[in-house]
Amino acid sequence: MVLGLLATALSWALFALTFGRFRRRPSLHNALYSLGLLFFALAVSAELLARLQGGWSPFLYRLWYLTGAMHGVTFLGLGSLALLNPRAARGLLLALSPLFLWGLYLVASAPLDLARLPEPYAPLGVAFPPPGLTSPRLWTLPFNLLGTLLMAGVALYTTLLFRRQNPLRARGTALILLATLVLASTSALNRFGVAGLEEAGRALGVGLLYLGVVLADRSVAYAGGRA
């Protein structure tokens, strides 16, 4: 419970930090990153509320699945791509838009059986039908894989690029890379039915992400809305 509270508080603090940066210096990168962090904060908040009330409600479960299980890192990855190549990020966002709408429809309409969960508040996707074209469980894999690869790839590239020119920024992006790997590992274990590590994994991942963003922010002079 303490780890869940910590992850929730850090998630909302990180969203507030990034959204404040977007309001000061609007850009595609900041918009996508703010959206990704909002989704992340909503997902961990839904998990915490489910545990506090002793089980999922249908609304909370669908909200958690859409913002966490399906799009936990999708928009963070697109935001990372926009930092390097805004045009490519816009094109990919446009190309994926029909799939985003399809995923939203599936999460909102797919049959839900919360009795399939091993515990009433377990953050597992088994309450939805088995993976298939009309089950949201099939679509979490490509979305999460794409987001993780983009986020980790950009963080690794930036770390290597700035390791000598700007060591502080390199340390920040290295922490973002580590956070991505921690969150991806937690999600992968969850997908294979390994429950019980979510609170620790999310708390550690969002803590590393918060530190990484703060360090990277301090190292970069944002100008012209291109941050």
What is the pLDDT averaged over residues 175-197? 75
What local confidence, expressed as pLDDT, does residue 224 receive? 37
- Which domains does the chain possess? 1-222 (1.20.1070)
Give the Cβ contact number of residue 75 at 10 Å. Answer: 26
What local confidence, expressed as pLDDT, does residue 110 receive? 95
What local confidence, expressed as pLDDT, does residue 93 receive? 96
What is the pLDDT averaged over residues 18-38? 91
Decide if pLDDT at 221 tops 70: no
Tokens of 179: 């956070």
What local confidence, expressed as pLDDT, does residue 124 receive? 85
Tokens of 61: 């479960």
Cα dist from 5 to 94, 95, 97, 153, 220, whole Å: 35, 36, 33, 30, 31
What is the pLDDT averaged over residues 81-100? 94
The pTM of the full predicted model, rounded to 2 decimals, is 0.87
User: Could you identify the residue written with the tokens 């507030």?
Assistant: 16
What is the pLDDT averaged over residues 78-89? 92
Task: Render pLDDT for 174-185 as a digit per residue (tens, 0 to 9).
Answer: 999 998 888 877
Task: Render pLDDT for 126-165 as a digit per residue (tens, 0 to 9).
Answer: 999 998 888 999 998 899 899 999 999 999 998 998 888 8
